Copies of this chain bind each other. A is one copy, B any other.
Amino acid sequence: MATSWEYRYAQRTKGMQSSVVREILKVTSQPDVISFAGGMPAPELFPIREIEEACVKVLREHGSSALQYSITEGYVPLREFIVEKISRYGIKADVDNVLITTGSQQGMDLVAKVLVDPGDVIIVEAPTFVGALQSWRAYQASFAGVPLDDDGMRVDLLEEKMVETHPKFMYILPNFQNPGGVTLTRERRERVVGLAHQYGVPVLEDDPYGELRFEGDHIEPLVVISASRNGLDPDGYFKGDVIYMSTFSKTVAPGLRMGWVVAPVEVIKRLVQAKQGVDLHTSTFDQMMVYEVVSDGFLDEHVKEIRKMYRQRRDAMLAAMEQHFPSEATWTHPKGGLFLWVTLPEGVDCLDLIQEAVDNKVAFVPGTAFYANGSGHDALRLTFATCSVDMIDEGIKRLGKVMAKRIKQPA
């Protein structure tokens, strides 16, 4: 007789759960719902023609080697491209400092695989990226949240939290944070790096949106600030306490699952060992194809288009919120990226609101999804990237009505 599987599962599965965001996306995928819920880039910007040309070129020029097993570290020309690309931000790296990952979600999985023992504490921004929480719950990590304000993580609360929890690492999204939409200031970055060094706690710097800045000046990444304090390692490349991650998901296309990690060589070696056991390597063909798409200056031009469209949509959303949201609601004003964060007046619960919103054909992600401890009932995340300006106006109007009703008649 077949036995139940229930008693067979590993301890770590107790912390594992389906992504709340992905569950909501299922509900809101009907075509008549205006969804501000997904974290998806605008599909009308995907470079379909360039990808088709790249596919044909890769297969004709590289033939079978584009389809064969390849090295775990990743396609060398693509890693060289990344080295050149990040050097503009002051990140001094060599090909050996770069690992191609199957999306930056895999970067998160591998970093935890290499660093996290059960019970280890990870310091996160509160709220933080839901996919990070999901990945690390499978490693039986604990989370210590440090609140955000308009200038990013409240670093004035960070040292106390570090002393209290002895974290294994800190996870920080410095630019146009998901879900907060806020950016960590230069002064706060200095402080984070200083504390990282003082306490010997590494930082995982996740920068998927850094290129999508609409206004204001670029701020040096944590990895550069750390390297400038530590100097360079004997090979002339960066060393320090920061692992840097990014992705082509927001600048080329997310369905290709193509991200990368930049770290000291010794850390990359460990991550490579972990990746061998996980998927051997990222699709050889997709790596070569993405390289063909992004090289020759295309990416720079393409990113300008993305910035322009997202900026228009952000402006439209902010304007519509001013017009249609009840005066009791407040929200962040992101200078880039895809997301903004709305805080509701006390007594209104976003989990009640989402039901009513979906009934009124508009969707968002409840704030609770982004907190490790289940708080965030008074908040919600909106994406301005995916909908047209007209749909944004209509959707915000619908959402404003639902909010106003709830504020007058709390559940």
Q: Which residues does A use to contact B, with CB under 8 Å?
A: 1-3, 5-6, 8-13, 16-19, 22, 38-41, 43-44, 46, 48, 51-52, 55-56, 59-60, 63-72, 102-103, 105-106, 108-109, 113-117, 120, 131, 134-139, 168-169, 197, 200, 202, 226, 230, 239-241, 253-257, 264, 266-267, 270, 272-274, 276-286
Contacts and interface: CB of A to CB of B under 8 A. Distances in A.
B281 A257 contact: yes
16 contacts: A2-B197, A2-B239, A2-B241, A8-B168, A10-B116, A10-B117, A12-B113, A22-B276, A46-B67, A51-B67, A68-B253, A103-B280, A106-B279, A135-B278, A255-B285, A256-B283
B114 A273 contact: no
The majority secondary structure among interface residues of chain A is helix
Contacts of A139: 10
Copy number in the complex reads 2
A64 B40 contact: no
A115 B9 contact: yes
Which of the listed residues A44, A48, A272 has the most CB atoms from chain B within 10 Å of its own CB?
A48
A277 B134 contact: yes
A18 B73 CA distance: 12
A321 B256 CA distance: 44
Given A64-B46, A137-B277, A283-B283, A70 B255 contact: yes
Given A64-B44, A64-B48, A56 B56 contact: yes
Nearest to A280: B105
A240 B72 CA distance: 35
A405 B293 CA distance: 53
B64 A115 contact: no
B22 A72 contact: yes
Contacts of A68: 40-41, 43, 46, 253-255
B10 A115 contact: yes
Contacts of A276: 18-19, 22, 131, 134
Contact of A43 (B64, B137, B254): B64
Contacts of A48: 59, 63-64, 67
A230 B4 CA distance: 12
A3 B241 contact: yes
B230 A2 contact: yes
A202 B5 contact: yes
A204 B281 CA distance: 22
Contacts of A270: 5, 9, 13, 16
A284 B43 CA distance: 13
Contact of A267 (B5, B52, B138, B274): B5
A33 B1 CA distance: 53
A39 B69 CA distance: 9
A169 B106 CA distance: 26
Which of the listed residues A11, A46, A169 has the most CB atoms from chain B within 10 Å of its own CB?
A46
B264 A285 contact: no
Given A52-B56, A59-B52, A68-B40, A16 B283 contact: no
Contact of A16 (B1, B16, B56, B274): B274
A255 B226 CA distance: 36
B279 A18 contact: no
Nearest to A139: B10
Which of the listed residues A71, A102, A106 has the most CB atoms from chain B within 10 Å of its own CB?
A102
Contact of A255 (B13, B255, B283): B283
Given A65-B43, A69-B40, A202-B8, A257 B279 contact: yes
Contacts of A114: 9-10, 13
Nearest to A12: B113
B116 A230 contact: no
